[in-house]
């Protein structure tokens, strides 16, 4: 234990304990061995308790003499919180006496109290994943997240399991870890919780080769390279032919699929997820589903890896939905910082905005149309605006569904604001959807910003021809039939010029 980690622990622990009520603090002080806590003030109890934790003061045994205490209940949340702080800051301490080390292990006391029925203690699970390493040592894997000021690993799919693993402050400082990092590590049991002892990989990079640029400060540029959606294996996928040949989606693009309800936004994102997951191994694909039906979630699970698909149904609370959305975005940012090309598919930003609008975080701003908070609008713009292409490698691309004409004016406001920062807007046609022509892409109203860096000369010429000559003469349905038939861009170009 370094002097700095001890000072950090003392500061954080003091801040937490001073926030408790005097009754809570006296009960907890009696539990940890503070001498006569009922006669002392808050600061005195806190200072003596911290002295016990760091080994400067010897705890006193609980006395059975005198009248029974008025409040003997020890809040298990306080015990767990301080226990976690000790594991974070004081793990791996050297030079402690046996007596001091024994006083710092509360697991026996907790078990004793639980057996006596004096408290009901439950270890909250955080959902780390684990696998066996050569059948001897266990490797733990999860995403770094801070909950209640405690840094720990959560499962990549954000589900709860039976263990929780804490990352110590020393390891966070040593490797420059940040929230959202995917970490594999060894761990051991300390103070009734698992504590990481050594880090093996960070974001799938071995620690001695790990390097990154800062997401917020790295130099960015317009997308320079297209993402491949079509490779001739899915010949009937008109949607992927659109994205490959006519509506290029580049690395670092902010793309939104805009339409009224039931026009095929989710179906288009599902095809994109299927194409990217099956054929584009160079791109890391994450999918976020917010406020979806169980049936829609089940469809995506067929094609997307379980650790890369984070979803919430309409049964989840808004706070949970927002937490999941932030959880996956942090991971996407961390991978992009390390030089990876990442695609995040979101269905939908309207649902995310409505969920955020129901949380306490949105309160305090100006109330806009239909009860939409100004902070909510800023949040969803910031979320969508996280997509970018780095000058020195790595990118985060976001392709998200955005609804309009839902009957809720707030959705139209959200769509209008997001369109201002989108670098690609794919509009779907109600008329085509009514005729069951999918994907119902309205090509004339679909456009990207600065597409010159993504389209070749031939593609750019064909794009102008389709918009200015072909569609006014033959219409979008004829273009759909040609896309269905063509297997390559050259075939499509040849068939268009014959008409």
Q: Looking at 34-43, 57-66, 207-216, 344-353, which range is the least confident one?
A: 57-66
Q: Which one has a higher pLDDT value, 251 or 499? A: 251
The span from the CA of 104 to the CA of 63, in Å, is 19
What average pLDDT score do residues 374-382 get?
94
Give yes or no for residue 334 having a pLDDT over 60. yes
Q: List the domain boundaries for the chain.
A: 3-116, 129-209, 220-455
pLDDT at 103 (0 to 100): 31
Q: Name which of 272, 447, 408 is nearest 347 in CA terms.
A: 272
The fold of the 129-209 domain, in CATH, is OB fold (Dihydrolipoamide Acetyltransferase, E2P) (2.40.50)
Specify the 3-state DSSP secondary structure of 270.
helix
Q: Which residue has the tokens 């040949």?
A: 245
pLDDT at 188 (0 to 100): 86
Q: Looking at 58-72, 117-131, 136-150, 276-290, which range is the least confident one?
A: 117-131
What average pLDDT score do residues 222-228 get?
89
Q: Are residues 101 and 94 in contact, defined by beta-carbon separation less than 8 angstroms?
A: no
What average pLDDT score do residues 124-152 get?
69
Q: How confident is the model at residue 116 (pLDDT cuts 50, 70, 90)?
A: very low
Write down the pTM of the prediction: 0.76
Q: Are residues 380 and 352 in contact, defined by beta-carbon separation less than 8 angstroms?
A: yes
What average pLDDT score do residues 342-367 get?
92
For CA atoms 169, 170, 175, 181, the dihedral sign is negative
Q: How confident is the model at residue 12 (pLDDT cuts 50, 70, 90)?
A: confident
Q: Name which of 148, 33, 34 is nearest 85 in CA terms.
A: 148
Q: Looking at 102-111, 172-181, 209-218, 406-415, which range is the least confident one?
A: 102-111
Q: How confident is the model at residue 121 (pLDDT cuts 50, 70, 90)?
A: very low
Give yes or no for residue 119 having a pLDDT over 80. no
What would the two tokens of residue 497 be?
A: 């010029």
Q: Which one has a higher pLDDT value, 125 or 442? A: 442
Q: According to the per-residue pLDDT averaged within each range, which of 43-57, 58-72, 322-336 is highest? A: 322-336
Give yes or no for residue 149 having a pLDDT over 60. yes
Q: Name which of 105, 107, 89, 92 is nearest 14 in CA terms.
A: 89
Q: Looking at 67-71, 194-198, 216-220, 221-225, which range is the least confident one?
A: 67-71
Q: Name which of 30, 146, 43 is nearest 88 in CA terms.
A: 146
Task: Give residue-wise pLDDT tens across range 257-302.
Answer: 999 998 889 999 999 998 888 766 678 999 999 998 888 899 999 8
Q: How confident is the model at residue 62 (pLDDT cuts 50, 70, 90)?
A: low
Q: How confident is the model at residue 137 (pLDDT cuts 50, 70, 90)?
A: low
pLDDT at 9 (0 to 100): 81
**Domain at 220-455, CATH class:** alpha beta
What average pLDDT score do residues 236-258 get?
90
**335-356 per-residue burial string, b: 16 or more CB within 10 A, e: under 16:** bbbbbbbbbbbbbbbbbbbbbb
H/E segment holding residue 130: strand 129-133
Q: How confident is the model at residue 354 (pLDDT cuts 50, 70, 90)?
A: very high
For the chain, the farthest-separated pair of C-alpha atoms sits apart, in whole angstroms, at 102
Looking at the chain, the number of H-run helices and the number of E-run strands are: 19, 16
Task: Give residue-wise pLDDT tens across range 407-461.
Answer: 899 999 999 999 999 999 999 999 888 888 888 899 999 988 877 678 888 888 8
**223-248 per-residue burial string, b: 16 or more CB within 10 A, e: under 16:** beebbbbbeeebeebbbbbbbbbbbb
Q: Return the axis-axis angle of helices 294-301 and 265-279, rounded to nearest 10°.
A: 20
Q: Which one has a higher pLDDT value, 456 or 115? A: 456
Q: How confident is the model at residue 403 (pLDDT cuts 50, 70, 90)?
A: very high
Q: Looking at 131-135, 228-232, 306-310, 480-484, which range is the least confident one?
A: 131-135
pLDDT at 110 (0 to 100): 40
Give yes or no for residue 469 having a pLDDT over 60. yes
pLDDT at 59 (0 to 100): 86
Q: Which residue has the tokens 């907890």?
A: 28
Q: How confident is the model at residue 95 (pLDDT cuts 50, 70, 90)?
A: very low
Q: Looking at 79-83, 244-248, 345-349, 398-402, which range is the least confident one?
A: 79-83
Q: Are residues 346 and 290 in contact, defined by beta-carbon separation less than 8 angstroms?
A: yes
% of the chain with per-residue pLDDT over 70: 85
Instruction: Indicate the average pLDDT of the chain.
Output: 82
């Amino acid at each position: 234990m370094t002097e700095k980690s001890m000072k950090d622990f003392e500061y954080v622990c003091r801040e937490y304990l001073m926030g408790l009520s005097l009754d809570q603090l006296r009960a907890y002080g009696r539990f940890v061995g503070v001498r006569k806590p009922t006669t002392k003030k808050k600061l005195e109890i806190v200072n003596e308790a911290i002295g016990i934790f760091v080994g400067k003061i010897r705890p006193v045994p609980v006395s059975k003499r005198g009248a029974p205490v008025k409040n003997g209940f020890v809040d298990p949340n306080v015990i767990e919180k301080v226990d976690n702080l000790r594991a974070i800051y004081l793990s791996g301490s050297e030079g402690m006496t046996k007596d001091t080390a024994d006083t710092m292990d509360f697991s026996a006391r907790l078990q004793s109290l639980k057996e006596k029925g004096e408290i009901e203690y439950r270890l909250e699970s955080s959902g780390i994943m684990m696998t066996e390493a050569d059948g001897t040592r266990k490797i733990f894997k999860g995403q770094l997240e801070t909950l209640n000021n405690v840094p720990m690993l959560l499962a990549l799919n954000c589900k709860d399991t039976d263990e929780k693993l804490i990352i110590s402050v020393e390891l966070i400082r040593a490797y420059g870890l940040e929230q959202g990092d995917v970490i594999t590590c060894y761990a051991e049991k300390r103070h009734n919780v698992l504590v990481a002892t050594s880090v093996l990989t960070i974001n799938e990079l071995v620690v001695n080769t790990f390097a990154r640029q800062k997401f917020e400060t790295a130099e960015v540029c317009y997308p320079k390279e297209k993402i491949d959606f079509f490779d001739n294996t899915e010949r009937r996928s008109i949607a992927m032919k659109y994205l490959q040949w006519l509506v290029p989606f580049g690395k670092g693009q902010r793309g939104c699929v805009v339409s009224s309800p039931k026009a095929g936004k989710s179906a288009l994102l599902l095809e994109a997820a299927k194409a990217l997951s099956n054929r584009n191994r160079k791109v890391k694909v994450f999918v976020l589903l917010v406020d979806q039906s169980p049936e829609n979630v089940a469809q995506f699970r067929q094609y997307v890896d379980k650790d890369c698909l984070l979803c919430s149904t309409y049964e989840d609370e808004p706070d949970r939905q927002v937490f999941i959305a932030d959880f996956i975005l942090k991971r996407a940012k961390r991978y992009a910082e390390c030089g990876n090309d990442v695609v995040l598919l979101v269905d939908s930003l309207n649902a995310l905005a409505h969920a955020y609008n129901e949380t306490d975080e949105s309160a305090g701003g100006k109330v806009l149309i239909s009860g939409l908070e100004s902070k909510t609008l800023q949040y969803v713009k910031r979320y969508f605006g996280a997509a970018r292409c780095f000058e020195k490698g790595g990118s985060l691309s976001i392709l998200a569904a955005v609804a309009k004409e839902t009957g809720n004016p707030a959705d139209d406001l959200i769509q209008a604001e997001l369109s201002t920062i989108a670098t690609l807007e794919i509009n779907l046609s109600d008329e085509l959807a009514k005729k069951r022509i999918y994907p119902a892409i309205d090509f004339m109203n679909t456009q990207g910003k600065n597409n010159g860096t993504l389209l070749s000369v031939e593609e750019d010429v064909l794009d102008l021809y389709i918009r200015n000559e072909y569609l006014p003469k033959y219409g979008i349905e004829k273009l759909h039939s040609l896309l269905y038939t063509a297997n390559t861009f050259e075939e499509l170009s040849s068939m268009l010029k014959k008409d």
